[in-house]
Each structure stands twice: as structure tokens, then as C-alpha cells.
A and B are shown apart, each in its own frame.
Chain A
Amino acid sequence: MSGAALTITNLSAGYHGSEALRDVSFSVNRGDYLGICGPNGSGKSTLVKVILGLLAPTNGEITLLGTPQASFTSWQRIGYLPQGLQFFNPNFPATVTEVVRLGRLAGKRFPKRFNREDAAAVERTMEWMGISHIRGCMIGELSGGLRQRVLLARALVNDPELLVLDEPTTALDPETRESFYKLIFEMNREKKATVLLVTHDTATIGRYASHLLYLDKKVVFCGDFDDFCNSTEMTGLFGEHGQHLVCHRH
């Protein structure tokens, strides 16, 4: 099914009275790989939270995979990977398998029980991500990079149509970062998943993304990546010689 994976219209949102997003509108087609970047405090994380229903907007409309967000319930079609866990507890008694399996809860109705199908999906995903060998390890004992991989597996376990990633590799070393992005790119190219990647690492966007959204509380630029490279906005933001820094292609 083609069409818009995500449509945002006149979105405004904020925390405790201060405004983080002002009148944002854009749309993402299925199969697109959208890089979202902008300076610190530009509202990128806020945008992600609002899209996923974690924060209520003050104004505007969101349509997810063809359905208005207010009535959207099939969260298993969306995979989310944040920068890290909210309160990371190194003693949390969950194994890698249990964590990945948690991702399967998104598609379930009350009472939520796991079945053989879930176990199979978990195995498949762990295999694909190359983490089957640590299936019995405790999540807290893993390195940061492995942990993020497990959380990515959790996000992918339902084979989501839309993948939302909020600065997923900030705390990781360059090598791990590379393998991460390769995996995500494969999701986009082979499984035709729409990808929303929030990052301030514009070089990465340059290598993988098809579209770019530059955000600074409002939309500065949104569109085809190549167009961005030749736009006045780009020179305005990165300077005359910024093009080869930002727009180096894979």
C-alpha cells in the first residue's frame, strides 16, 4: 500500500508552558528514509514523542499510517528506539530474550499472553540482529552498544512498517554506530520500512537518508535530500563549503 506513512499538520507542542514546536507541517511517504536534524533544543525529541503519543500536542493533527493518531491502536506497526533507557538499572533482572519479547506486547489485546508465534518472531529477529548468542544474558550486564542492539531488536520484532529512532547511537562508538546504520538501512531498502531518524550527525543522514527535515522549532527545510544539498537553506546553515561535509553520498 503506498501513500503517506506520516502526515503532520500545524503541529505545536511544548513542556510546562514553554514552546518546543511551532506550527510544524510535513509529510513522509512510505519507504522514505527521513533524517531529522537541527540544533540542540530544536524540538526533535519533542516531535518524536508527539508522533508516538507520548506527549500531547497543544495544537495540530497527526496521521499515522493512514489513520488519525487519536484512533490509532496498532502500535505493533511502529518500532521505537530512544537514545537509551529512562532509568538504566544495571541490576534489572531481565534476559535479552525477555526484553526483545516485550516488543511483541504492542500487537496484543487484553489479556496479554505470549505464544509460540511470539517466540518464533523473537528468535528470527535476534538471529537477524546477530544477538542470538547472548539471548540468556542479563540486559544490565551488556555494554552500551550491545544493549542498544537489543533494544533495536525489540523495536524490530514486529517487522514494523514505520521505524522511529531518536538519536539511537549518540552513546556508541563509531564501529557500532556503523553496523547500526547498516541494519537500519537494510530495513528500509529490503523490508521497505519507512524510517524516521533523529540525529545531529548530518554525515550519516547524507549517507543513508532520502529526505531531510531540518527543524528549529519550526520547519526550516523539508524535502528531498539532494534538493537540500543545493538549497540556499543549506548554505545558510552550513556555509559555502558545507556541501561536501553534509552531502557526501554513499
Chain B
Amino acid sequence: MDIAEMLSYGFMQRALIGGSLIAILCSVLGVFLVLRRLSLIGDGLAHVTFGSVALALFFRLHSFYMTLAIIPVVLACAMGILKLAQKARIYGDAAIGIVSALGIATGVMLASMAGGFNVDLFSYLFGNILSISSSELVIAAVLFAVVLTGVGIFYNDLFASTFDEELAKSSGIDTDRINAVLVLLTALTVVLAMKVVGIMLISALLILPAVTALQLSKGFKTAIVCAAGIGVCTVVAGISLSFVLNLPTGATIVIINFLTFICAFAARTLLRRR
């Protein structure tokens, strides 16, 4: 099995393209999320999506209408996490935990009340990067454009708020609005990209490339570009390696991400010693 043969398959091409697009936007968002200690928000919102899918199935909504119905629910829960963290005197990680647990429980409750669904609920949610369809590729591309545009427009405000929220506020920045922008972009990413690449990859891509980039980067803009680069490289490497070595793709990508992080960490430690 060589590279040329690998690239001849449509599903591999789509996996590489779709995977790269999603890797970039997750890595970029991830830098902001990790620095604000909201790393697990991807995981948390994925659980909320689970609950929302159950809700949609409960009302017998399918495919396109289901996605349309889920988006506002997940966005609302994302705002809920923000508000909880602000008003209820708890840190972001606990707020995420609360909403996440609620999401799963709602899903389980609804599944039980509905007396079952037509499709196994749990399997419904695990997108697989190898089975990306053309329409899902379009969704990934649109999401890519929307998220990167959003980050680009609000870049300096996001940077200032992430550095120190109080200082940002004193500069006249509406930090509540900026926080909302970040969290909503993340929620949109989780809902749409989860269907394309699955829970495991979304969670991992929101955290690992960012953390690796933070090991190495000097400067905020450098960190963001670096994270995006690492995201793409690990996804492409992961897909290719899984093809050649006959391994499950998603897990391979995550492991490569982890190994990259270890290398970056080692490099940084060694450089420090000099």
C-alpha cells in the first residue's frame, strides 16, 4: 500500500481535506480555550450535543432538521456554561462539568422515556473521519470560513481578554461579548464537526495542538499559527500512518498528537537547560 494508492481513494482524499480543515479551526480555538482554562469545553459540549440529539429524535426530527434543531440548544448550553462560571462563583471547569453531566443525563432520560429510538443513539453520534461525505466536507469548509473569520475579526479583543479580562475591560472592550463569541464559535464547531470526525477527535484537537504550540511559541500570533500547523500535520500524518500500518484512524491521530506534545516538551526542557 503506497501513498499514490492511498490518495486514489475518494474517502482518503475527503478524510485528509476535511480532517485538515477541522484540525485548523479546532487548534486555533483551542489556544484561547486552553489559556482560559476551558479546555474540556469540547468534551462538555459534545455531551450536550448527545442530549440534544436525543431531544431531536424524541420529536422525530432527522438529519437536516435535526442538525438545525440541535444548534440553538447547544449554543444556549454554551452560554449557560459562561453564565454559571460568572454568577455561581465556580470556575469554568466545574461549570463545564455540570452542563456536561446534565447533557448526558437528559439524553439517557429521554431515550428511556421514548421507549427506544429507531437508531442506536450512542452510535449515531460517533462520526468517523473515514466516512466523510461530500456534503459534510462542504459543512466543514463553511464552518472553517465562519470560525476563522470570527476569530480574525475579534482577534485583538480575544487576545486582550484572554491575557487579562480586567485590563481588557478597562480598555473599553466588552469582555462579556467577547467571551460569548469565543464560546459560541466553539459550540458551533463541536456540533457540526462532531458529526464529521467524532467526539474523541474533537476533544483532542481542541486541546493537544494548542498545548504543544504553547510549549514552543514565543508570541501569541506565533502560538496560534504554530497550533494550526501542528493540527494539520498531525491529522495528515495520523491518517496516512493509519492507512499504511492498518490502524484505527482517529486513535492514531490522537496518539501522534500526544507524541508531538512530548517532543515539544522535551525540546523546551532541553533548550532551557542550556
Q: Decide if A and B touch, CB cutoff 8 A.
A: yes
Q: Spell out A's residues near B (CB within 8 Å).
A: 52-54, 73, 75-76, 78, 80, 82, 85-87, 89, 91-95, 98-99, 102-103, 105-106, 108, 111-114, 136, 138, 151, 154
What 6 new A-B contacts, CB under 8 Å, besides A103-B171, A105-B160? A53-B169, A93-B217, A93-B219, A98-B221, A102-B160, A102-B163
B123 within 8 A of A: no
What are some 22 contacts across the A-B interface (CB < 8 A)? A52-B169, A53-B169, A54-B169, A73-B172, A82-B167, A86-B166, A93-B213, A93-B218, A93-B219, A94-B159, A94-B220, A98-B219, A102-B156, A102-B167, A105-B156, A105-B157, A105-B168, A105-B173, A112-B156, A113-B156, A136-B218, A138-B218
Contact A75 B172 (CB under 8 A): yes
Which residues in B have their C-beta under 8 angstroms from that of A80? 167, 170
Q: Count residues of chain B with CB under 8 A from any CB of chain A.
A: 26
Q: Is B269 positioned at the interface, with any CB of A under 8 Å from its CB?
A: no
In the complex, how many angstroms separate the beta carbon of A6 from the nearest chain B beta carbon? 15
**B164 located at the interface, meaning its Cβ lies under 8 Å from any Cβ of chain A in the complex:** yes
A76 to B170, CA, bound (A): 9
B3 is an interface residue with CB less than 8 A from chain A = no
User: In the complex the two chains form, what is the Cα distance from A65 to B163 in whole Å?
Assistant: 28
Task: Tell whether B143 is near chain A: CB-to-CB under 8 Å.
Answer: no
Question: Shortest distance in angstroms between B35's beta carbon and chain A's nearest beta carbon?
Answer: 7
Name which residue of chain B comes closest to A93, CB basis: B223
- Asked whether any CB of chain A lies closer than 8 Å to the CB of B165, the reply is yes
Known: A102-B159, A106-B172. A89 touches B219 (CB 8 A): no
| From A53, A94, A95, contact of B170 by CB (8 A) | A53
**Nearest-Cβ distance from residue B26 to partner chain A, whole angstroms:** 18
Contact for B219 among A87, A91, A95, CB less than 8 A: A95
Given contacts A80-B170, A89-B35, contact A94 B219 (CB under 8 A): yes
Residues of chain B at the chain A interface (Cβ within 8 Å) = 35, 153, 156-157, 159-160, 163-173, 213-214, 217-223
Residues of A within 8 A of B214 (CB): 91, 93
**A92 and B35 within 8 A (CB):** yes
Q: Is the CB of A98 within 8 A of B169?
A: no
Residue of B nearest to A136 (CB): B218
Chain B residues near A102 (CB-CB < 8 A): 156, 159-160, 163, 167-168, 171
Chain A min CB distance to B222 (Å): 7
Closest to B211 in A: A91
Question: A73-B172, A105-B171, A114-B156 are contacts. A54–B35 as well, Cβ < 8 Å?
Answer: no
Residues of B within 8 A of A89 (CB): 35
A117 to B174, CA, bound (A): 24
Contact yes or no, A92 B222, CB < 8 A? no
Alpha-carbon gap, A111 to B223, bound state (A): 22
- Complex CA distance for A105 and B169, rounded to whole angstroms: 11
CA distance A201 to B173 in the complex (A): 32
Determine the distance from Cα of A54 to Cα of B171 in the docked complex, in whole angstroms: 10
What is the CA–CA distance of A86 and B171 in the complex, to the nearest angstrom? 15
Cβ contacts under 8 Å, A108 to chain B: 156
Report the nearest B residue to A49, measured CB to CB: B166
Give every chain A residue within 8 A of B221 (Cβ-Cβ).
98
Q: Which chain A residues border B166 with CB–CB below 8 Å?
A: 54, 82, 86
B163 touches A111 (CB 8 A): no
Q: Quick check: B156 and A86 within 8 Å, CB to CB?
A: no
Cβ of A93 and Cβ of B220 under 8 Å apart? yes
- CA–CA, A98 to B164, complex, Å? 13
5 nearest A-B pairs in the assembled complex, by CB-CB distance: A75-B172, A106-B171, A93-B223, A80-B170, A112-B156
Asked whether, in the complex, the Cβ of B217 is within 8 Å of the Cβ of A111, the reply is: no
Q: How far is the CB of A197 from chain B (nearest CB, A)?
A: 16
Could you say which residues of chain A place their CB within 8 Å of the CB of B219?
Answer: 93-95, 98
- Min CB gap A148→B, angstroms: 13
In the complex, A99 Cα to B163 Cα: how many Å?
A: 8
Write out the residue numbers on chain B whose beta carbons fall within 8 Å of the beta carbon of A95.
218-220
Chain A nearest Cβ from B27, distance in angstroms: 14
Contact residues in B for A54 (Cβ distance below 8 Å): 166, 169-170
What separation, in Å, do the CA atoms of A94 and B163 have in the docked complex? Answer: 8
Complex contacts, A73 vs chain B, CB 8 Å: 172
Separation of A168 and B171 alpha carbons in the complex (Å): 18
Establish whether residues A85 and B218, one from each chain, have CB atoms under 8 Å apart when the complex forms: no
Specify which chain B residues have a CB less than 8 angstroms from the CB of A85 in the assembled complex: 163-164, 167
Residues of chain B contacted by A76 (CB below 8 angstroms): 171
> Distance (Å) between the CB of B97 and the closest chain A CB?
19
Instruction: Determine the residue in chain B with the shortest Cβ distance to A82.
Output: B166
Q: Bound complex: CA of A99 vs CA of B162, how far in Å?
A: 12
Measured CB to CB, the closest approach of chain A to B183, in angstroms, equals 18
Residues of A within 8 A of B167 (CB): 80, 82, 85, 102, 151, 154
